Chain A
Amino acid sequence: MREPTSPTPVDIHSDAFLARMMRDQLKLSIACALCFVVALVALPLLNYFQPAFMAQRIFGFTLTWLILGVLFFPFVWVISYVFIKRSIALENAEAQAAQDGQTK
């Protein structure tokens, strides 16, 4: 299966390495989560304060129905696609950095 990397290098066991790695990944996760949460919080607020605007017809749907019933899904797909891309790139960079540290 996977090649074991032996022996475990010292630097990846340092607190600094772990802290940086967790911080980078958490930052990415939170940034993506924020996009999502803002939309989730905003839609009920718009419905609340701008009911007439949200009730206007677009292709027979009301605006708010179109957003929630149809457009929300692709919006979330885009967030998850961006997250996967970045997160895998981040992991590769970490692995690379750690292995470079090992050979020096």
Chain B
Amino acid sequence: MNTLLLATEATKGIDPWIAICSLATVAITVGMGFWTAGKSKSAGDFFVAGRSVSVGWNASAISGEYLSAASFMGVAGMVMATGYDALWYPVCYACGYLFLLLFIAGPLRRFGAYTIPDFAEGRYDSPMFRKIAVCFVLFIGFFYTMPQMKGAGTTLAYIFPGLPYWAGVVVVGAVITLNVSLGGMKGITLVQAFQYWLKVFAITVPIFVLASLVGHYQQHLAANKTSQETVAAAPAGIERKALPAKAPKDEAWIAPFGKLTTKALDASIVAAKTPEAKAELEANKKPYSLLYTYSLIIALVCGTAGLPHILVRFYTNPDGVAAKRTTMWVMILIGVFYVFPPVYGVIGRSLTPELYDAVGAKGTDKVVLELPTLLAGRDHPLLGSILSGITCAGAFAAFMSTFSGLLVSMSSALAHDIYGRMLKPGASPEQRLKAFKWSALIVGLVAVGLGSQVEALEINFMVGQAFAIAAASYFPLLFMSVWWRGMTMRGAATGMLVGGLSALASITLTSISDVAVAKAKKIADAAELSAYWADHPLAKTIADYWVAHPLARILCEQPAIWAVPLSIILMIVVSKATEATVPADVRMKMLVLHAPEALGLKQEYIKEHEGLGGH
């Protein structure tokens, strides 16, 4: 009875086109999963797709994996909510690959490992280091999984208005876990490549149709006046709805150093008691914003080069040159994509300003899904439905493909590094394969559990945190290990641990107080509010500290600017202090990393005779 009620409730007000497109995406994903299940046989297929993925397929697959819910929905929502500063997200998401290409992609592939922990152990001959590296794979992976899950919950709740948030999390979690355990890396490579093209289709087609009917990107941008202009230079025929009070003003929205970067200081200014204190804080606004911007850039650029689920994909290339070519194509494919989400944000500001009033799942994050439905009210009901069906399908593809990539990298960490290397080194290939499937199930369950808890947090913000942790741990590790012969295990481990954990700690501090403050804002009654704060003394202390020290708050919210250099300096200092423990065969290791394959120095780290070789 209950489920029936839920079902009838859920079918009310559902657009058939949206439902059909979303279901088709899920059905194709599952179908491809079963189809590839027959093709993935060996452990090599499951972990690194047999190391035989061609440049075109791999570039599409990496791009498909990378363009997550944050890219598809979060970027548009953030541009709409905060304006110019949010553009740094798509730009750095795409351009971070340049660092990966310049310093890491080729050498990492040549080393011939299965996972990043493999590389960590192989480079320093230290099983201990593998354990540390595995922990970070799981840490970063789960941090990155949560926003994907939020995207899933949000989208499903949007399509089926009666469904609770957690339903989407469970459905997507189940589908992808099934897919990954069926086909492993080889299976999802195909699915992700398909999903890339689906996403590009889903983000471009609706916006071109929409723009031709309601006005173009630059026309809507021109409707926002800058501080230099006295009146908005909106071209004729561009419609603009009145902005609600909550929306940022034009001048602040279109210019750099706006709401996104001044949040901490704004809170302090509101709390400042004297006009002098206010004025002093106002004067700090711009320099602090600049600092925030740089820290964000470092986090995103270095973080991209340190995301384990992306790095593991380079192992599926046949050789180092292919790895480099793949990276270049990835940059082109994702760059083309990233031009478009901000367009939704800009047009959304003109046409769907009511989203500013809602928060979370119902707010600006859903502008990509909401915008096409506008056409329905403009004498194009069918077109509107079809286009929003397409964007929903793209959103589904977005969090499904990223989550499947995360699931593979975390399952590999569990099955290959923990089970196959630590618990049972003599495991047969069949046992490892079984372990992979079980790991996928475990990770899938944990991810669903975590995902159902994060409804209140912003998608793009959570992703930014995952990037900051990766930037302060894996990026320094890989960069230094590849290019500096003098690195020792202790140096690498100290730098990675201190950098990564301090980034994690400072981000956690900001999250604790943010969640509490968000809850407190919903309480209208003063007595209830003080009771709430009395119950949460830690969050209260932290929140008060942030108000008093906005600079500390910025440095904790965006820790990359100090955490990345800290990590690198520690690596150098500790390595110098433990110089005697530099691996004896470091020259050979460096040769394998840097010499072209044609020299025949290539040695697969995991040998054929272990029954895992992909060739």
Residues of chain A lying within 8 A (CB to CB) of residue B588: 13
Contact of A80 among B101, B321, B597 (CB under 8 A): B101
Query: Is B428 in contact with chain A by the CB < 8 A criterion?
Result: no
Residues of chain B lying within 8 A (CB to CB) of residue A44: 256, 290, 293-294, 297
Cα-based distance from A73 to B255 in the complex (angstroms)? 20
Residues of chain A lying within 8 A (CB to CB) of residue B88: 68
Contact of B591 among A1, A13, A77 (CB under 8 A): A13
Which B residue sits closest to A76, measured CB to CB? Answer: B95
Contact A84 B94 (CB under 8 A): no
Which B residue sits closest to A36, measured CB to CB? Answer: B98
Contact A83 B101 (CB under 8 A): yes
Contact B597 A84 (CB under 8 A): no
Contact of A76 among B98, B221, B321, B596 (CB under 8 A): B98
Residues of chain A lying within 8 A (CB to CB) of residue B452: none
Contact A60 B599 (CB under 8 A): no
Residues of chain B lying within 8 A (CB to CB) of residue A41: 294
Within 8 A of A (CB), among B123-159: none
In the assembled complex, how far is the CB of residue A41 from the closest CB belonging to chain B, in whole angstroms? 8
Which A residue sits closest to B318, measured CB to CB? Answer: A1
Contact B600 A84 (CB under 8 A): no
Residues of chain A lying within 8 A (CB to CB) of residue B598: 2, 5, 91-92, 95, 99
Which B residue sits closest to A68, measured CB to CB? Answer: B87
In the assembled complex, how far is the CB of residue B103 from the closest CB belonging to chain A, in whole angstroms? 6
Cα-based distance from A65 to B294 in the complex (angstroms)? 17
Query: Is B192 in contact with chain A by the CB < 8 A criterion?
Result: no
* Given A33-B102, A62-B226, A69-B599 contact (CB < 8 Å): no
Residues of chain A lying within 8 A (CB to CB) of residue B595: 12, 21, 94, 98
How many chain A residues sit at the interface, stated as a range, is 35 or more
Cα-based distance from A8 to B603 in the complex (angstroms)? 13
Residues of chain B lying within 8 A (CB to CB) of residue A92: 596, 598
Among the listed stretches B332-340, B442-450, B493-501, B569-577, which one makes contact with chain A, having 4 or more residues with CB under 8 Å of it?
A: B332-340
In the assembled complex, how far is the CB of residue A66 from the closest CB belonging to chain B, in whole angstroms? 9
* Given A15-B587, A77-B331, A25-B339 contact (CB < 8 Å): no
In the assembled complex, how far is the CB of residue A60 from the closest CB belonging to chain B, in whole angstroms? 3
Query: Is B208 in contact with chain A by the CB < 8 A criterion?
Result: no
Which A residue sits closest to B328, measured CB to CB? Answer: A80
Residues of chain B lying within 8 A (CB to CB) of residue A59: 218
Subset of 10 A-B contacts with CB under 8 Å: A44-B290, A51-B256, A57-B222, A64-B84, A65-B84, A68-B87, A72-B95, A73-B338, A76-B94, A83-B102
| 10 cross-chain pairs, A with B, having the tightest CB-CB distances, nearest first | A60-B218, A5-B600, A60-B222, A73-B335, A95-B598, A47-B256, A91-B596, A29-B102, A55-B226, A80-B328
**Chain B interface (Cβ within 8 Å of chain A)?**
84, 87-88, 91, 94-95, 97-99, 101-103, 106, 216-219, 221-222, 226-228, 233, 235, 254-257, 286, 290, 293-294, 297, 301, 321, 324-325, 327-328, 331-332, 335-336, 338-339, 342, 483, 587-588, 590-591, 594-602, 615
Further contacts, 17 of them, CB under 8 A, given A5-B599, A47-B256, A84-B324: A33-B103, A45-B290, A48-B257, A51-B256, A55-B254, A60-B221, A70-B339, A73-B91, A77-B331, A77-B335, A80-B331, A87-B324, A91-B321, A91-B598, A94-B596, A95-B596, A98-B599
